[in-house]
Amino acid sequence: MIVEWGYSIFTNIAAWGFGLVPGVPAGTNPAGGITAILGPVMGQVSNLGAWMPWDVINIVVPISIALYLGSLVVRAVKSFIPTISG
């Protein structure tokens, strides 16, 4: 009973998530279907231009990516250095 309840919660969340993606009209080829889906979505994203602080985003995102990649490099180098534990 508890498993079925958890399963129903998962399926409801998945159905809600898939419901956010607009449907593809019948009889379209896959490439047309992808553009039919992404066209309106990208149109709505472009309307966010007035609300997004692009100056801040253009600075923060590359710095965040650089820090993340730098930490991965440090971690990779650190994995090859033998350590003494005791």
The per-residue pLDDT for 42 is 78
pLDDT, mean of each 10-residue run, the chain (86 residues): 86 88 64 71 76 80 93 89 68
Distance CA 58, CA 54 (A): 6
The pLDDT value recorded for residue 67 is 95
Contacts of 41 (CB under 8 A, 6+ apart): 22
Tell me the whole-structure pTM to 2 decimals: 0.40
CA-nearest of 7, 40, 49 to 21 is 40
Q: Which residues of 20-51 are buried (b: 16+ CB within 10 A; e: fewer)?
A: eeeeeeeeeeeeeeeeeeeeeeeeeeeeeeee
